Structure 1
Amino acid sequence: MAFGKAAAAVACAMVLTAPTTSAAPDNSVRRVEYSLGDRAFQVPGFHTEPGGPVADLELTAIVHAPRTLVGKRPLVLLAHGFWKPCQGEQWAWPCPAGDAFPSYRGYDYLGEELARQGFVAVSVSVNGVNAGEMGEIADVARAAVMSKHLEMWRDLNDGKGPLTRMLSGFKNHVDLTNVGTLGHSRGGRGAVYQASDKHIAALPRGVRIRAVLPLAPAGYYAPDPEAPENLDYRITKIPFAVVAGDCDAIAGQAAGYVTNAQGRNLVPIHLVTPKRANHNFFNTEWSYDHDNHCADGPTLTQEEQRKVATSYIPAFFRQYLLNRRNPIVSEGYQGVDVVTHQPIG
């Protein structure tokens, strides 16, 4: 049975406060990076440019995890969106040595908070995808890079694969059947493509995604609501939350993912609109002062917008990966004129 066919928009009031676990000391979080190199991976059919050679892609990530791991912890995979791959003007991959733009480090603040709350957070680099072809084939490549990292973590958990030489202390402590994914901007489009009903069976063996959060996701192209392209981005069996600020030019595109699933969804979906939030402040590497104005006034500050992210996003994953029902997710909140939330289904 599909839920949400007659669902109305709901907005409930709640004081916006950071979770109490935010007070945990910094030494409660372990941070480690890994990289297999800038030419470690290829996606068949994804090229440097139409008609060009198959693109070389990096397998690079930063991990935030509880310093002490007890039992198996859920994994949350983060993926950034479209930004220049190199610090200089070169739009190609690989970049000159030491010149790669660290977009994947832009969510360190969020990864730290997720780790404080018991998750293993892995933020992956997709600069090589950004230097290649555009359009849906780039979503295929983003999804493939995300899945490759999940496959490597599954192997690490079993004591095999390349990450065993790079990471210690994780074997048998990460639950790859309890994964959450978050993609920002075009990374959100890739995350939805990966978890869609049409493509979910392509996940690596033994990996299961149980919650998806497209963060300010760029829209995809479909000529009309019944076009087959919608199926590539339709999630009906996995809870998901679309989060996009009302000072974000692509907020309307982002809402399209809810429209695509609404009335067909078998599990809850959510549309969350942080008031006065823009597109870039969710990523610290993308944030510049000139981004802080809407058409009718200032946006949230960078710190305020990240407070929204570290309040809502961990609560969402706690609910669906740890089975801890949270009013912030289930009922929505509007803390001090910050967020409007619409649970659907």
Structure 2
Amino acid sequence: MKRHQRRRTSARALGLSAAVLSAAAAAFTYAPAAGAAAPHDATGLSAAHVSGAVRTVRYDLGNEAWHLPQTGEPVELAGVVHYPADLGRGRHPLIVMLHGWHETCADRAADAARTAAESSGDDAAYEAASAKLFAWPCAAGTPALPSDAGYDYLGRSLAAQGFVVVSIGANGVNASSVWGDDNAAARSDLVNQHLRLWQELSSKGGGALAGAFVDPDTGARRDVGFAHHVDMGDVGIMGHSRAGAGVTWLAADSHRGQWPKGVNVRAVAAVAPAYNVMTEDMSAYTITKTPFAVLRGTCDGQVGGEAFAFAADAAKEDRGGFYRFAIHGANHNYFNTQWSPQSGQVAASDDATPVEGHPGQCTDREDAAPARELTEAQQRRVAVTYLGAFFDRYLLGDTRQDQVLTGARHPDAALTQVDVTTAGLS
């Protein structure tokens, strides 16, 4: 019976994977990447401008504002933006975040019907309910599931460090028919489309985003002076789950030419990336110039350890730097608040596998050693630590983060263990 649930894909059989990871595990030396900026110099920021005060706006150009190049299916152009309250006189690096595959419509009746159908083994009812949960646009009166808001905790933290951060919606991609490498390409295309919008806004103060920002709570228009205050030559990208594959695709050498004119992606992070491990074209993911970080929890019930192997293969010749962070006790969904049980959202769940007879312990279904499962707040705190350090290092040039990135210092040691591996550093 077909299920519209995430399944772990089979392990990827590329001969270099094990060798690359073994070499990476032994490498903890660090040297700054060529061209890394001194703190704040590349952006014109000063410490006074990074006050920690943060504001938030949204934009939504419509549920069918863009169409997938592969199929013509509709996709929204919408996002949540966190930014320093005082943009100052300089330019701030832009970070774009993208969520992965999840239900698109918060239809509680359909969710209950799907659960009942799965319990009874009614395939037809299951498929009918799933079609409502994965529709785009959603049916009249049914709210869209706001996966883009699931990284607000991270966006606020990064904005307090001096970044302009936008988390974009991809419900249209999730509801589409594109799969495998085409899905990664579609997510990359979507990010590039948003980057074009921001480039036009930043350089000219115009385009579709001009006048499009609203208060996320009231919907009232908010005028924000982003023009000439966003550095499109200093961009970071983060993707979670299938979007992790999408951002790897975007950063690959073979796709750098697709970046909008005036845009330079200087750092990319894949969080619990769900790769197409059966791809026949590894060059579509190969990164040799851009700093690349990958995170995964040891209790991830949806993406297996092959995510690390795939990322290591993609970055085996990365002169920009490659970082691997294995977070003990972290699962897949807690990185996104909308996918996590405390949100009360449709289809939210704890995907970690419990250990029988050991309450509070979890694994990833791959016979790994059990760990104490992190709470939602704890897992996000660790994500903020390592993603914040990574982007601070490569977008602001802050070398004070080097010890965190190489594992010499563990800021969250009181919460959990994080295995840090580095490789491909110059």
TM-score of the pair, normalised by structure 1: 0.87
Instruction: Name the aligned partner's letter for residue 65 of structure 2.
Output: A
The 1:5/1:253 distance shift into structure 2, 3 A limit, reads closer
Structure 1 gap segments, 5+ residues each: 13-20, 47-53
- Kindly state the Cα deviation for residue 312 of structure 1 after the two structures are TM-superposed: 1.0
Q: Which moved more, 1:251-260 or 1:132-141?
A: 251-260
Cα shift readout 1:264-313 (whole Å, capped 9, x = no counterpart): 22221011111111101000000126445324464111111011011111
Map of 1:187 onto structure 2: 243
The 1:5/1:277 distance shift into structure 2, 3 A limit, reads closer
Map of 1:35 onto structure 2: 60
Q: Does 1:93 align with 2:149?
A: no
Taking the TM superposition and a 5 Å limit, the aligned residue runs for 1:176-255 are 176-222=232-278, 227=280, 229-249=281-301, 250-255=303-308
Whether contact under 8 Å (1:280, 1:287) holds in the other structure is: yes
Structure 2 gap segments, 5+ residues each: 1-19, 30-46, 111-131, 214-223, 342-348, 355-361, 364-369
- Kindly state the Cα deviation for residue 25 of structure 1 after the two structures are TM-superposed: 8.9
Map of 1:50 onto structure 2: none
Map of 2:313 onto structure 1: 260
Instruction: Name the aligned partner's letter for residue 330 of structure 2.
Output: A
Q: How many residues align?
A: 321
Taking the TM superposition and a 5 Å limit, the aligned residue runs for 1:274-293 are 274-288=327-341, 290-291=350-351, 293=354
Task: Decide which of 399, 404, 407 is 1:328's aligned counterpart.
Answer: 404
Q: Does 1:305 align with 2:384?
A: no
Distance 2:381 2:315 in 1: 28
Q: Does 1:341 align with 2:341?
A: no
Whether contact under 8 Å (1:189, 1:219) holds in the other structure is: yes
- Kindly state the Cα deviation for residue 5 of structure 1 after the two structures are TM-superposed: 10
Q: Does 1:114 align with 2:146?
A: no
- Kindly state the Cα deviation for residue 197 of structure 1 after the two structures are TM-superposed: 0.8
Map of 2:212 onto structure 1: 166
The 1:286/1:129 distance shift into structure 2, 3 A limit, reads same
Task: Decide which of 43, 58, 62 is 2:76's aligned counterpart.
Answer: 58
Compare CA radii of gyration and give the structure with the larger one: 2
Map of 1:152 onto structure 2: 197
Instruction: Name the aligned partner's letter for residue 247 of structure 1.
Output: C
Map of 1:138 onto structure 2: 183
Instruction: Name the aligned partner's letter for residue 139 of structure 2.
Output: P
Distance 1:301 1:86 in 2: 26
The 1:93/1:300 distance shift into structure 2, 3 A limit, reads same
Instruction: Name the aligned partner's letter for residue 162 of structure 2.
Output: G
Distance 1:278 1:171 in 2: 39
Instruction: Name the aligned partner's letter for residue 30 of structure 1.
Output: R
Distance 2:277 2:21 in 1: 24
